[in-house]
Amino acid sequence: MKSKIIIIAAIVMLIAIMGYMAWDLFLSAPPEAKNPWEYKVGDLKRVDSSILNYIEMKPFKPEMEEVHGVDVDSSGTIYVVGKNRVGIFGRDGNLKNSFPISGIGTCITMRNQLIYVGILDHIELFNMSGDRIKRWKRTAPGSVITSIAVNGNDVFLADAGNKMVYRYTAAGKLLNRIGQKDTVQNIPGFVIPSPYFDLAIGKDRTLWVVNPGRHSFEHYTMEGHLLNSWGSASNSTAGFCGCCNPTNFALLNDGSFVTSEKGIERIKIYSNEGVYRELVATPEMFAEGVKGLDLAVDPQGRILVLDPAKNQVRVFVRK
Amino acid sequence: MFRKSREFWLLLLLMLLAGSSFAIQRFPRPEFETGYQQPETMLPGPRAEIMAVVDLAVLILALSAVSWMVLKKRSRKGVFWVSMFSLVYFGFYREGCICAVGSVQNVTLALFDPTYPIPLTVLAFFIIPLIFTLFFGRTFCAGVCPFGAMQDLVAFRPKTINSKVDAALGMMPYLYLGLAVLFAATGTDFIICRYDPFVGIFRINAGFSMLLFAAILLLTGIFIARPYCRYLCPYGVLLNWISRFSYRHMTITPAECINCRLCENSCPYGAIKIPNSVKYAETRRQRVRKLMFITLLFPFLMVGGGWAGSRLQETFAGVNRTVKLAKELLVSDQNGQDVESFEIKAFRSSGKPLTEVYQEARIILHRFLIGGWILGAFLGLTTGLMVAGKLLENHQSDYVPDKGACLSCARCTDYCPVMGNTMPTELNHKA
């Protein structure tokens, strides 16, 4: 009897296998409509916003097309550049001044009462009234200037088109190139797959440049000697992911880094040694696919985020 | 004159301005060149040609060794150890590929698609076991096929299956072979490989359904010896046919059978023919009736089967990728679906005209119509042969292996007390 049951069970299993084969071959549902190779980062974007130590304040609109760059001076005045226009705003976002420029402003900085505006492939200098003081000649063929930083008499330009940082005098004379691949000096060279390439002057008056293709920050002397670097490629919040991140950064008053990313749109803070500290803004706070979230930090430590999708300067303050 | 000249210069100026407006650079630019050196695509090197020769040599040596063990040495132990070697070599080392079972499809495709270059090794793996079977019976199944060796390892408690159930399940390999040939001939799929149960174990890498398939077969194999070989293996069908005409098939006894019945239950595959000496004598009329029935049965089964197969044309063709795509496109265009499948999106982006796919699908459908007729007729023929075999069973007085179903595993030889041309002493005493 027991033997009979075993045989029946075994035969049923065999028939089940044959049935499965027939079902799979002839009756199984057609493949799902969705693309199996779809680029999906939905899960990576989900972050618990209760862990945030920053809150968003009322943003303001710079009222210009295609915003690309933001900067803050020591008095807290905010400078925004976009297509054909520069806007100067007070701490609360009230417009102080606005003046036209000839072209698409890609980056901006203000030092020594001079406003430096990167206009695609060259630099123009304006006074606070908006009068053009000087127009530097084109940096190099194919240049796309994406960031400017001034340190005393030195002006540093990040050229995404030529994957190079240029050091100029305030008078516009080229002093040296920084970041060219050099195996002897152990300089890896900048990897810039997309037009986002940022730099800033550190507290110790040295130069920090983001190398987005290598997901790292590189630390240089004024002369272009590589001091050190930090950063890691990772899908976790503590790292940078995708082809090329971070896209932009700014330095907080204590020397730590505020970074922005594309793909997984988020703002994060790292210590001055490159250790991940916290999240300022989660991907849910940004429009999907927004790129080039330029950053600035004002003297009060507020983090200003230029959001090209919303055409706003968004303000984040520590709770 | 002056006015005309002014108009000319104005026109020229406008053209220059228009030209310069096209030259405005956009920001941000599209992706830049990164300077990153794309590494050369690394492909695994092809297997050395000499290794294909080694595979063939191992196949021939293993077949020879098993044939020798079965026919000369009559040693089950020897067959077992050769089968273990084959399991290691053809199973785990060669990862179940190249395989004689699957080669049926390659050979079929090569016959129907002249653009398909069948590797000589595959052809040899298809033909050599058939040649050995023609001479020595299914020695390939006994000790060379890794699938068989795998199942033999778990056949701990084989039970006898009811002969009717066994016959019904025994039809499955014919259906499987027919479908495998149909799908290979139409360039649709290699279903033997798709439902290969053990390759996942050999490669230690398989999807859930494949592992489950193997697990169920092995679990079943504890009580029903070699379930895949007996009730699924399509290559076994060919071996079964050829083995019936084998020149020197193994025998249970090395000399005359003494009808001691010791071997009666020794075969876990139910492949021993038991003597049917008490068969009643048929009248001439009964014989004529039987023959007439069989004569009418064959065309009826073949035409009926063919008709049924042709009715399944669309079901069979539904497995074909082109037909599937054409169907989806038709439904999508008729119903205006919002979400289109990835296949449809890929097709639309290819720019290929819709009519071309429909035309291709029509041709494939026609092939399946013919294939359906042939498959149905083939199944009708095999059913008829099975019925005729039962009806026209010949008288037989000894215990002999069923040459078609016998896997030449040599288990029964261990049970046979007959030694060479003399009876063992013990039995002589008893006699």
Write down all domains in chain A, each with its CATH number in brackets: 47-318 (2.120.10.30)
pLDDT at position B423 over 50 = no
Q: Do B224 and A189 touch (CB under 8 A)?
A: no
Flag whether pLDDT at B9 surpasses 80.
no
**pLDDT tier for residue B33 given thresholds of 50, 70 and 90:** low
Q: Indicate the domain borders of chain B.
A: 54-277+398-419, 284-391
Let me know: does A100 contact A119? Beta carbons within 8 Å: no
Q: Name the residue of chain B whose CA is nearest to A12's CA.
A: B220
User: Is residue B25 very low, low, confident or very high in pLDDT (cuts 50, 70, 90)?
Assistant: very low
Q: In this complex, do B217 and A35 lie within 8 Å of one another by their Cβ atoms?
A: no
Task: Please state, rounded to an integer, the average pLDDT across all residues of chain B.
Answer: 87
- Closest-approach residue (CA) in chain B for A194: B31
Per-residue pLDDT tens digits for B212-261: 999 999 999 999 999 999 999 999 999 999 999 999 999 999 988 888 88
d(CA B78, CA B83): 9
Residues in chain B with CB shorter than 8 Å from the CB of A16 are 216
| Torsion sign across C-alpha atoms A154, A156, A162, A163 | positive
Count of H helices and E strands in chain A?
2, 22
Contact B341 A36 (CB under 8 A): no
* CB neighbour burial string for B287-322, b if at least 16 within 10 angstroms, e if fewer: eeeeeeeeeebbeebbeebbebbbebbeebbbbbeb
Strands laid side by side in the A226-230 sheet: A199-201, A207-211, A216-220, A226-230
Tell if the CB–CB gap between A11 and B169 is shorter than 8 Å: yes
Confidence of residue B35 (pLDDT cuts 50, 70, 90): low
Residue showing tokens 């290969």: B196
pLDDT band of B23, cuts 50, 70, 90: very low
Residues A53 and A318 sit within 8 Å (Cβ to Cβ): yes
Determine, for residues B209 and A20 on separate chains, whether the beta-carbon distance falls below 8 Å: yes
In the predicted model, what is the mean pLDDT of residues B328-335? Answer: 86
Contact check, Cβ <8 Å, B219/A161: no
Considering CB atoms only, which of A10, A106, A193 is closest to B31? A193
Separation between Cα atoms, residue B383 and residue B341, nearest integer Å: 42
Say which DSSP state B224 is in: S
Residues of chain A positioned with their CB less than 8 A from the CB of B345: 35
Q: Which two tokens stand for residue B180?
A: 């495998």
Q: Which residue has the tokens 């890896």?
A: A188
Helices B172-185 and B234-243 meet at what angle, rounded to 10? 110
- β-strand partners of A248: A260
> Would you state the pLDDT for residue A34?
63
Half-sphere exposure of A173 (CA within 13 A, CB side): 4
Chain A residues touching residue B341 (CB < 8 angstroms): 30-33
**Going edge to edge, which strands form the sheet with A174-178?**
A145-151, A154-159, A164-169, A174-178
- Interface residues of chain B, partner chain A, Cβ below 8 Å: 25, 27-29, 31-32, 34-36, 159, 161, 165, 169, 172, 179, 191, 195, 209, 213, 216-217, 219-220, 223-224, 227, 231-232, 315-316, 318-319, 324, 328, 339-343, 345
The pLDDT value recorded for residue B409 is 94
Q: Give pairs for A225-234: CB < 8 Å, separation 24+.
A: A225/A185, A226/A185, A226/A186, A226/A187, A230/A270, A230/A273, A230/A274, A231/A274
pLDDT mean by block of 10 residues, chain A; 319 residues:
85 92 84 65 80 93 93 95 95 94 95 93 94 91 94 94 94 93 90 93 93 94 93 88 93 95 94 94 92 95 96 95
Confidence of residue B209 (pLDDT cuts 50, 70, 90): confident
> Nearest CA to CA, how far is A9 from chain B (Å)?
8
Q: Give the pair of three-digit tokens for residue A128.
A: 């606070």
The amino acid occupying position B94 is R
Question: Which of A123-127, B2-6, B303-307 has the weakest average pLDDT?
Answer: B2-6
- Cβ of B209 and A106 within 8 Å? no
Measured between beta carbons, which residues in chain A are less than 8 angstroms from residue B342? 31, 33-36
Report CB contact under 8 Å: A7, B159: yes
Identify whether the C-beta of residue B241 lies closer than 8 Å to the C-beta of residue B134: no
> Pick from A7, A53, A33: which is nearest to A279 by CA?
A53
Q: How far apart are CA B225 and CA B407, in angstroms?
A: 11
Q: Which residues of B touch A21 (CB under 8 A)?
A: 195
Q: Phi and psi dihedrals of A89, rounded to 5?
A: -125, 150
Indicate whether B429 pLDDT > 50: no
A18 touches chain B (CB under 8 A): yes
pLDDT of residue B5: 63
Q: Provide the residue type at B235 as one letter.
A: Y
Q: Other CB atoms closer than 10 Å to residue B75's CB: what's the count?
A: 16
Query: Is residue B10's pLDDT more than 90?
Result: no
Helix B100-112 and helix B234-243: axis angle, to 10°? 90
Are the Cβ atoms of B36 and A213 closer than 8 angstroms? Answer: yes
Does the pLDDT value for residue B196 go beyond 50?
Answer: yes
Residues of chain B found within 8 Å of residue A6, distances taken between Cβ atoms = 159, 223
DSSP at A172: S
Angle, vertex CA B124, rays to CA B119 and CA B125, nearest 5 = 100
Q: Given CA atoms B88, A13, B242, B111 in this order, what sign does their dihedral have?
A: negative
Q: What order do you get walking across the sheet with A312-318 strand by strand?
A: A54-56, A312-318, A303-307, A294-297
Q: Are strands B400-401 and A95-111 parallel, antiparallel or unpaired?
A: unpaired
Give A266's contacts (C-beta < 8 A, 6+ positions apart). Answer: A47, A237, A260, A279, A280, A281, A282, A283, A286
Upstream peptide bond of B28 is cis (omega within 30 degrees of 0) = yes
Chain B residues inside the 8 Å CB shell of A161? 29, 32
**Residue B128 CA to its chain's centroid (Å):** 16
Q: Name residues 52-81 of chain A within 8 A of B (Cβ).
A: 68
Q: What is the token pair recorded at A177?
A: 């190139």
Cβ separation A194–B28 shorter than 8 A: yes
**Closest approach of chain A CAs to the CA of B24, in angstroms?**
10
- Contacts by B273-277, CB closer than 8 A, 24 or more apart: B273/B396, B273/B399, B273/B400, B273/B401, B273/B402, B274/B399, B275/B396, B275/B397, B275/B398, B275/B399, B276/B393, B276/B395, B276/B396, B277/B395, B277/B396, B277/B397
Using an 8 Å CB-CB cutoff, list chain A residues near B219: 10, 13
Determine which helix (DSSP H) or strand (DSSP E) holds A84, and give its type and residue range: strand A78-89
Contacts 24+ apart (CB under 8 A), B277-284: B277/B395, B277/B396, B277/B397, B279/B393, B279/B395
With a CB cutoff of 8 Å and minimum separation 6, the contacts of B283 are none
Can you say whether the dihedral through the CA atoms of B119, B124, B129, B135 is positive or negative?
positive
Task: Specify the pLDDT at position B430.
Answer: 38
Q: Is A191 on the interface with B (CB under 8 A)?
A: yes
Task: Give the contacts of B280 (CB within 8 A, at least 6 positions apart).
Answer: none
Dihedral angle at the C-alpha atoms of B174, B179, B180, B183, nearest 10 degrees?
160
Q: What is the pLDDT of residues B134-184, one digit of tens each?
A: 999 999 999 999 999 999 999 999 998 888 899 999 999 999 999 999 999
Q: Do B28 and A14 touch (CB under 8 A)?
A: no
Q: How confident is the model at residue B277, as a pLDDT? A: 60
- In the prediction, which pLDDT does B345 show? 84
pLDDT (0 to 100) of residue B95: 92
Q: What is the pLDDT of residue A258?
A: 97
Concatenated DSSP letters of B248-286: S---SSSS------TTTTT-TT--EEPP-TTPPPPPHHH
Contacts of B35 in chain A (CB under 8 A): 163, 181, 189, 191
